[in-house]
Chains A and B, each alone.
Chain A
Amino acid sequence: MRLYDLFKLALSNLKRRKTRTFLTILGVVIGTASIVVMVSLGLGMSQMMLKSYQDEGSLTMIRVYESYERNDSSEKNKQLTELTDDNVERFRALDHVVEVSPALDVSVSAKCNGAESDFTIRGVSQYYLSQLKLRECGEIPKKDQNELSLIYGNQILYNSFYKTKTYESMEIDPYKDTIFLTFPASDYSEKRSNSDSESDTVKKQKKYIIPVSGILSGGKDDWSENSYNAYADIDTLKKFLRKLYKKALVPAPRTTKNGKAYTYYVYDTIYVFVDDMNNVKEVQKQLADMGFSVNSNMEWLESAQQQLGMVQMVLGGIGGVSLLVAAIGIMNTMMMSIYERTKEIGVMKVLGCDMSDIRNMFLFESGIIGLMGGIAGLMVSYLISFIINFLTSDNGESVSMFIGYSEGGSLSYIPLWLAAFAIIFAIAVGSVAGYVPAVRAMKLSPLAAIRNE
């Protein structure tokens, strides 16, 4: 029998019992819609999470700290695990590593228009700086600048300055307001004998006005791991600090056994940038094996996504149950229609209709129910998804607060593959549910046609 004829026959059989077909399809619609909406919620959540991590900072970045578990180690080993420029080069040589940026931190106090603040100036490499998202008017400090210039994190301006007396929070515009910075006094003195001029000058708490190079993008309510710091080019910062602290290099230098300040830099953090999200884990492991303490956003994201995966499975399971009910509905409908059409099927068999054609005809019928239910269910899903996203977007502030994700992305996300999967799955469910009835129809005796009731 031709496929086209089978299809037409199946369709006309469905048309014969419009109400029942409609109700069965309705079941599939509800089943499909609940699965799609549930999965779309899971996907939307995971997408939002990914986005929120990306906002926090790059997913390809690994933070490296000095490990304190090895306190007992000898001087030489210690040097190996200190975050020195040597180690920066070692990291750079690793596979998949694109860039390495040390971070040199100096905490400063700031005064502006009668308000005070403390924050950290963080000297980083040009690559790190280039990863920062700036407001339009700003630019990254150049590498070989003579004069130090800063990029302010947006939160410094909005939420860190307080009036000395009233503790009132104050907003600062570094382009208009003058910010006076005070660098910490050096707590290193090159032996008692030398406690003269240089440390004295610092003690006087000289105030500096350092030019603004840019501001990190983001408003009052945007937080990221960068937004509470000020950034500078590391080489320029080193040059600047050398003027202040001379041989000590930094305000609180490490000292050798005999009390001398280190002649090289030891950083608090080194940032390692990896070529791809998927290689982060591998590189991270290598760094950990070298004796450093490491973490990355990717690592957090992975564990968070694992948990979310469970949530997704539960959601999908809930949707699955309703599709299962729909499948039982299809089975029931098909069984009933076989019961009604016993004689007709018998006639067809007497007249030479292949058993497989009879089976396929019924499979087509249940498959069509699945297909129509799948398509309609998908349309309903898109509608529900739209409504959910509308309610959780800015228009429905209260709901989004309740759910806990407010900024960016949509809570319900139906990618193309999910849509395709839903329809194919609905057809498959229809066919599977129709299989037992179809086989039963195939095996019906042709004698049913002969008997007269």
Chain B
Amino acid sequence: MEPLIKVRDLYKIFNIGSNKVYALNGVSFDIYKGEFIAIVGTSGSGKSTCLNMLAGLEAPSKGVIQIANKRIDRMNEAQLVRFRRQNVGFIFQSYNLIPSMNAIENVAMPLMFRGVGHEERMKAAKHYMELIGIGDQSMHMPNQMSGGQQQRVGIARALVIDPQIIFADEPTGNLDSHTTADVLDLMKRIVSEEQRTMVMVTHDPHIASWADRQLKVVDGHIVETVINESSPIEIKIKEENGEPPFCEVTGS
């Protein structure tokens, strides 16, 4: 089994004045198709930085990122945008719905970027909203919805383009514990049912424990990787490869 995402020796160094901040200090790991990965760590540990580089939102200082056999680190911005349009769904902590569009238009927006016609994209949007259980709210404007409802719209928007990978940075960060559980449940269900790959960032170990595999980050290093042994996908990977997914554990 070949990994979908391959990260090798990834560094991100910010220059603040004469100071150098090592936000990511050489990480290497593989992610396989169908996995639900949680990158977990304390604030400032470099989780978001890592995710942003995987999504091509930030350029690495050093290292290799390969997704579906394409070198993300070598693409220019226009290529990255196209790559995301074709392969990547993104769920934001603060939902980031477009306030002037209603729910279904927000969900359909990524398809609009692809040039899909109005009818067709509305149909797809409707489908995913129903899948997520907000089919009755398609005409609501973002400011008429609760945080949990907005985040569900956000999830539907990430799914609508049928992406290979979904990135989520603190997707439950603004939700209460009950809604968090609902949303995580939903995401997990979709990943396993639809064979998607999901990379989620969180600072909460409890939330991270929902994932198939956790990468624990401290000061830009991966210090521990925790595999959920009961997860079918992890069992399958182990069966096929004879070993758990590659992840270099370093540092402290």
Q: Is the CB of B88 within 8 A of A352?
A: yes
**Which residues in A have their C-beta under 8 angstroms from that of B58?**
447
Q: Is the CB of B96 within 8 A of A349?
A: no
Interface digits, A429-453 against B, CB 8 Å rule (1 contact, 0 not)? 0000000000000000111011010
Interface digits, A349-366 against B, CB 8 Å rule (1 contact, 0 not)? 111111101000000000
**Which residues in A have their C-beta under 8 angstroms from that of B81?**
349, 352-355
Q: Is the CB of A352 within 8 A of B93?
A: no
Q: Is the CB of A352 within 8 A of B114?
A: yes
| A122 close to chain B: CB less than 8 A | no
Q: Is the CB of A450 within 8 A of B169?
A: yes
Q: Is the CB of A2 within 8 A of B86?
A: no
In whole Å, how far is B45's beta carbon from the nearest beta carbon of chain A? 16
From the candidates B84, B112, B115, name the one contacting A350 in the complex (CB within 8 A).
B84
Across the A-B interface, how many residue pairs have beta carbons closer than 8 Å? 70
Q: Is the CB of B82 within 8 A of A449?
A: no
Q: Is the CB of B113 within 8 A of A351?
A: yes
**Which residues in B have their C-beta under 8 angstroms from that of A447?**
52, 57-58
Of all chain B residues, the one with the shortest Cβ separation from A357 is B113
Of all chain B residues, the one with the shortest Cβ separation from A12 is B100
**Which residues in B have their C-beta under 8 angstroms from that of A452?**
93-94
| B109 close to chain A: CB less than 8 A | yes
Give CA–CA (A157, B114) in the complex, Å.
83
Give CA–CA (A16, B100) in the complex, Å.
7
Q: Is the CB of A450 within 8 A of B92?
A: yes
**Which residues in A have their C-beta under 8 angstroms from that of B90?**
350-351
Give the segment of A46-54, A340-348, A390-398, A401-409 that binds chain B: A340-348
Q: Is the CB of A355 within 8 A of B85?
A: no
**Which residues in B have their C-beta under 8 angstroms from that of A13?**
100
Q: Is the CB of B96 within 8 A of A354?
A: no
**Which residues in A have their C-beta under 8 angstroms from that of B182?**
none
| B77 close to chain A: CB less than 8 A | yes
| B110 close to chain A: CB less than 8 A | yes
| B225 close to chain A: CB less than 8 A | no
Give CA–CA (A5, B85) in the complex, Å.
17
From the candidates B94, B100, B109, B113, name the one contacting A354 in the complex (CB within 8 A).
B113
A350, A353, A446, A452, most chain B CB atoms within 10 A? A350
Of all chain A residues, the one with the shortest Cβ separation from B110 is A351
| A416 close to chain B: CB less than 8 A | no
Q: Is the CB of B100 within 8 A of A350?
A: no
Q: Is the CB of B48 within 8 A of A450?
A: yes
Tell me which residues from 90 to 131 in chain A have a Cβ below 8 Å from any Cβ of chain B: none
Of all chain A residues, the one with the shortest Cβ separation from B167 is A350
Give CA–CA (A12, B141) in the complex, Å.
14
Q: Is the CB of B115 within 8 A of A1?
A: yes
| B157 close to chain A: CB less than 8 A | yes
Q: Is the CB of B115 within 8 A of A351?
A: no
**Which residues in A have their C-beta under 8 angstroms from that of B17?**
none
**Which residues in B have their C-beta under 8 angstroms from that of A2?**
112, 115, 117
In whole Å, how far is B187's beta carbon from the nearest beta carbon of chain A? 18
| B1 close to chain A: CB less than 8 A | no
Known: A1-B113, A357-B113. Is A449-B84 also a contact (CB below 8 A)? no
In whole Å, how far is B152's beta carbon from the nearest beta carbon of chain A? 16
**Which residues in A have their C-beta under 8 angstroms from that of B93?**
452
| B139 close to chain A: CB less than 8 A | no
Q: Is the CB of A347 within 8 A of B98?
A: yes
Give CA–CA (A449, B93) in the complex, Å.
10
**Which residues in B have their C-beta under 8 angstroms from that of A445?**
57
Q: Is the CB of A1 within 8 A of B112?
A: yes
Known: A343-B96, A344-B98, A447-B58. Is A352-B52 also a contact (CB below 8 A)? no
Q: Is the CB of B100 within 8 A of A351?
A: no
From the candidates A5, A347, A352, A353, name the one contacting B96 in the complex (CB within 8 A).
A347
Give CA–CA (A452, B112) in the complex, Å.
26
**Which residues in A have their C-beta under 8 angstroms from that of B88?**
352
What residues of chain B have their CB less than 8 Å away from a CB belonging to chain A? 48, 52, 55, 57-58, 77-78, 81-82, 84-86, 88, 90, 92-94, 96, 98, 100-101, 109-110, 112-115, 117-118, 157, 161, 169
List, sorted by A's number, 21 A–B pairs whose CB atoms are closer than 8 Å: A1-B112, A1-B113, A2-B117, A5-B118, A16-B100, A343-B96, A350-B55, A350-B92, A351-B84, A351-B110, A351-B157, A352-B81, A352-B82, A352-B88, A352-B113, A352-B114, A354-B81, A357-B113, A449-B96, A450-B169, A452-B94
